Amino acid sequence: MAFALKGVAYITGAGSGIGQYAAYSLARQGVRSFALLDRNPVTKTVTELKKAYPDISIKEIELDVANEAAINDSVDQTVKEFGRIDYALNNAGIGGALKTTDQIDMDDFQRVLAVNTTGVWLCQRAQIRQMLKQEKRTDSYRSYRGSIVNTASMYGLIGPTLNVPSTAYATSKHAVVGLTKADAIAFAPRGIKINALCPGYVATPLVISSMSAGSVMEDERVKVPIQRLAEMEEIGDCVAWLHSDASSYVVGASTVADGGFTIQ
Ligand code: NAD
């Protein structure tokens, strides 16, 4: 796989899991300028990237994606450092409690929406405002001013199973799919490509530990037609593809990478 990505990446939730592996995939495809954002330190991601690519430039930004001023400032800082933003991944997210509507309280519900939905919207708004100011990288008909990928979930497309009643999470991720479609339509004519990525179960440490023998989540693993969880690297590669010229006609898509879970 070679997508020859040249430009500046901005990734939220870059300290762990999908965000971390998306950074590795983008670097493998040629990206050498990164803004890596997370509410926790991104030390491991930075160490690995610098070890593999000594010529890499990384701006580390610690913030909460639900903080409007911090997000706007992070885009300003990235542009001050690197001049533009080509590949944005709005990926920071939380699972919230496995509760149905009658069980969940207001604060828990609102926090999941604040991070997973409002956080993505705040990032996307700041990125769009910047991308509208920058030119396309090349004069190829496939080129964009910038590309944005939002990490939704297969639970942004289907309801949660009876075993795993993640009401707030499913609500927040359906909203990310809707936001992606609305802004993809509004900004495609102005040269910005926006897509959602809808992974199924990914083998992050948290998911693996939650699927221990005898847990309700173990039943979920058995239902995946491909009979395994996604490797983080595979999902990272989907991000690289969605940012590449190879997906130039893919606009506003809810890109499913779920081992066949949602076609059942
Ligand atoms: P993860 O917990 O490994 O990584 C999430 C990262 O986001 C962490 O580094 C965390 O510190 C950061 N983060 C959380 N809240 C934040 C906030 N308010 N501000 C800034 N950073 C914050 O989880 P992951 O599995 O890599 O999840 C990444 C995204 O993928 C999430 O949006 C998640 O909903 C989605 N997703 C995950 C799976 C899965 O099976 N793991 C499946 C579908 C979708």
138 in any annotated domain: yes
- Whole-number percent of the chain with pLDDT over 90: 89
Q: Tell me the per-residue pLDDT of 94-127, one tens digit each, with 9 for 90 and over.
A: 999 999 999 999 999 999 999 999 999 999 999 9
**Is the pLDDT score of 260 beyond 90?**
yes
**Is the pLDDT score of 216 beyond 80?**
no
**Model pTM score:** 0.98
Span from the CA of 223 to the centroid of ligand 1 (angstroms): 22
Planar angle of CA 51, 16, 201, nearest 5 degrees:
125
Ligand 1: list residues with CB < 6 Å. Answer: 12-13, 15-19, 38-40, 64-66, 91-94, 115, 119, 151, 153, 199, 201-202, 204, 206-207
Q: Which residues have CB under 8 Å from 235's CB, separation 6+?
A: 18, 21, 22, 197, 199, 202, 257
Span from the CA of 14 to the centroid of ligand 1 (angstroms): 9
35 in any annotated domain: yes
Band of pLDDT at residue 131, cut at 50, 70 and 90 = very high
Q: What is the C-alpha to C-alpha distance for residues 127 and 104, in angstroms, rounded to an integer? A: 33
2 in any annotated domain: no
196 in any annotated domain: yes
117 in any annotated domain: yes
Phi, psi (deg, nearest 5) at residue 136? -65, 150
Span from the CA of 190 to the centroid of ligand 1 (angstroms): 30
Lowest-pLDDT range of 25-29, 109-113, 191-195, 213-217? 213-217
Residue 225, domain CATH? 3.40.50.720
Q: How many CA atoms lie within 13 A of 136 on its CB side?
A: 14
In this prediction, residue 187 carries a pLDDT of 98
DSSP 159: P
Written as six digits, the tokens of 99 are 């509760």
Band of pLDDT at residue 36, cut at 50, 70 and 90 = very high
126 in any annotated domain: yes
Q: Tell me the per-residue pLDDT of 219-246, one tens digit each, with 9 for 90 and over.
A: 888 899 999 999 999 999 999 999 999 9
In this prediction, residue 19 carries a pLDDT of 98
Number of domains the chain is built from:
1
149 in any annotated domain: yes
80 is catalytic: no
Mean pLDDT of all residues in 78-95: 98
Give the SS3 label for residue 26: helix
In this prediction, residue 90 carries a pLDDT of 99
Span from the CA of 224 to the centroid of ligand 1 (angstroms): 21
In this prediction, residue 241 carries a pLDDT of 98
In this prediction, residue 118 carries a pLDDT of 98
Range of the domain at 247: 8-257
**Is the pLDDT score of 208 beyond 90?**
no
Which residue owns the Cα nearest ligand 1 atom 17?
64
Q: Tell me the per-residue pLDDT of 141-179, one tens digit each, with 9 for 90 and over.
A: 999 999 999 999 999 999 998 888 999 999 999 999 999
169 is catalytic: yes
Distances from the Cα of 24 to the Cαs of 11, 14, 123, 236, in angstroms? 11, 10, 21, 7
Mean pLDDT of all residues in 54-70: 98
Q: Which atom of ligand 1 is nearest to the CA of 114?
A: 18
User: Mean pLDDT, the chain, as a whole number?
Assistant: 96
3 in any annotated domain: no
